Structure formats: structure tokens, C-alpha cells
């Protein structure tokens, strides 16, 4: 995609949703990180139903450890993959206490080594919590990066790096923190995996539609 097209592409997505926000409920860095870990392969709405009671009981790593894995499972049973998520959240809380005095690290490389975190979660956390221009690459961003020719790549890391190259110094700095949100929303509602709605798409004239069968 040419620089002018990239600018116009994000200008139009911005027009539709000027300041997209994370839909997960949280009230501290720790509760945000736990909510993001819980949100893997499920909806934010589903996570938001379970977390008020959980965070009332366990709003810190210390209190989560005191709650313990078995009781944690009771709070998150309605969420997919709750067994492995409970295990990770307990391991994550333990590591935060033992290595970071209960604080959440503020850099991607350290964050992504925590149990259950990984690079996408680390990027989404830093972006949501501190408004940093990090790019979480989920299934939507991976698909769109390739389909619209904005950030081609076979792996999330490749797409993340190419996305960074494509948008930094091209779109306004203040908009960088919204790039992943805009792509996720566009992928969720318009440029869907199976049936992209090219006829209704506001950026159709800018898009090469790579791999799309019309």
C-alpha cells in the first residue's frame, strides 16, 4: 500500500470510530492483565461477566495467590479454556510477586515471558494501560495485514514489524495507539474471515483485496 493510501485508509476508519476503546473492564494494571489473559479465544463481554466477582475477591497478585487455583476456577468456569487460564493466572501472580514486587513490567520483552502472556497480550496491555503505540496482532490483524497489503507476513511478529514500518511517521503520532483497535474492529465487522463485505466497505477503493474471491 502506498503512503497516501495508508493515510486515507486510517483517516476513514477513524471517521467511523474516532477513539476506539478496549471493552474489557478493569481498574488497575493487574486486573487489566488478568482480563486480557482471560479474553483469549472468547469475547470481552463473556470476560466482563465473570471478572467483577473475581476482582472483588482477588484484585492483586497476593490476593489471587491466597484465593488459589481451584477457587479461581469457580469464578471463571463460564470462560473457555478456564483450566489452563487459571493455572497461568496463578503462575503469573506468583512470578509478579517473586520477581517484580507485585508490579507489572512495562516493556514488551519482559511482559511476554510471563506465564499466559505472550507478545500479543503484552502489546495489548501496554497499549490499553498506557496508550503506548504497540501493535497487538490477533487473528483479525494478521488477516487484514495480508489481505489489504498493509503489513504482509506469515507470523504475527512479521505482521507486527511490517505494520509498525507502514504506519509510524505516516499517520499522525496520536493515532498510532488506535491502529490495532481500528483493524480489529474492521476485521470483526466488515472484513470478516469468511465473507468480507467488500461492497459495503468504506476503504474498498484503496484495497487490493489480496486472496479475496468476489
Q: Footprint of ligand SF4 on this chain (CB under 6 A)?
A: 147-148, 190-191, 196-198, 201, 203-204, 207, 209, 212
**168/212 with CB nearer ligand SF4:** 212
| Residue 137 burial (CB count, 10 A) | 27
CA angle 72, 44, 115 (to 5 degrees): 50
Q: Cβ atoms within 10 A of the Cβ of 147, count?
A: 19
Shortest reach from residue 207's CB to ligand SF4, in Å: 3
**73 tagged catalytic:** no
Question: CA-CA distances (angstroms) from residue 82 to 13, 52, 77?
Answer: 34, 16, 6
Q: Name the minimum Å distance from CB 179 to ligand SF4.
A: 15
d(CA 50, CA 138): 22
Choosing from 94, 109, 120, 177, the catalytic residue is: 120
* Termini Cα distance of the chain: 20
Integer Cα distance of 184 and 94 in angstroms: 32
CA 147-117-77 angle, 5° bins: 100
One of 138, 174, 177, 213 is an active-site residue; which one? Answer: 138
Smallest gap from Cβ 3 to ligand SF4, in A, equals 18
Nearer to ligand SF4, 119 or 140 (CB): 140
Q: How far is the CB of 183 from ligand SF4 (least distance, A)?
A: 10
Could you give the CA distance from residue 29 to residue 7 in angstroms, rounded to a whole number?
32
User: Any idea what DSSP says for residue 117?
Assistant: T
- Catalytic-residue membership of 5: no
**Residue with smaller CB distance to ligand SF4, 37 or 191:** 191
Nearer Cβ to ligand SF4, position 16 or 198?
198
Catalytic residues: 120, 138
Amino acid at each position: 500500500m502506498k503512503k497516501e493510501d495508508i493515510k486515507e485508509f486510517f483517516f476513514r476508519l477513524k471517521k467511523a470510530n474516532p477513539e476506539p476503546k478496549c471493552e474489557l473492564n478493569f481498574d488497575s494494571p493487574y486486573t487489566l492483565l488478568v482480563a486480557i489473559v482471560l479474553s483469549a479465544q472468547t469475547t470481552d463481554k463473556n470476560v466482563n461477566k465473570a471478572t467483577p466477582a473475581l476482582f472483588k475477591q482477588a484484585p492483586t497478585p497476593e490476593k489471587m495467590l491466597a484465593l488459589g487455583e481451584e477457587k479461581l476456577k469457580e469464578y471463571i468456569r463460564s470462560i473457555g479454556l478456564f483450566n489452563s487460564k487459571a493455572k497461568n493466572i496463578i503462575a503469573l501472580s506468583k512470578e509478579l510477586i517473586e520477581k517484580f514486587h507485585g508490579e507489572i513490567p512495562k516493556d514488551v520483552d519482559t511482559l511476554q515471558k510471563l506465564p499466559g502472556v505472550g507478545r500479543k497480550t503484552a502489546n495489548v496491555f501496554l497499549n490499553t494501560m498506557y496508550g503506548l503505540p504497540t501493535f497487538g496482532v490477533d487473528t483479525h490483524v494478521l488477516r487484514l495485514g495480508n489481505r489489504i497489503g498493509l503489513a504482509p507476513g506469515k507470523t504475527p511478529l512479521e505482521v507486527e514489524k511490517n505494520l509498525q514500518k507502514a504506519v509510524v511517521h505516516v499517520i499522525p503520532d496520536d493515532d498510532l495507539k488506535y491502529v490495532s483497535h481500528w483493524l480489529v474492529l474492521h476485521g470483526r465487522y466488515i472484513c470478516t474471515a469468511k465473507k468480507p463485505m467488500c461492497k459495503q466497505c468504506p476503504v474498498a477503493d484503496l484495497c487490493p483485496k489480496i486472496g479475496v474471491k468476489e
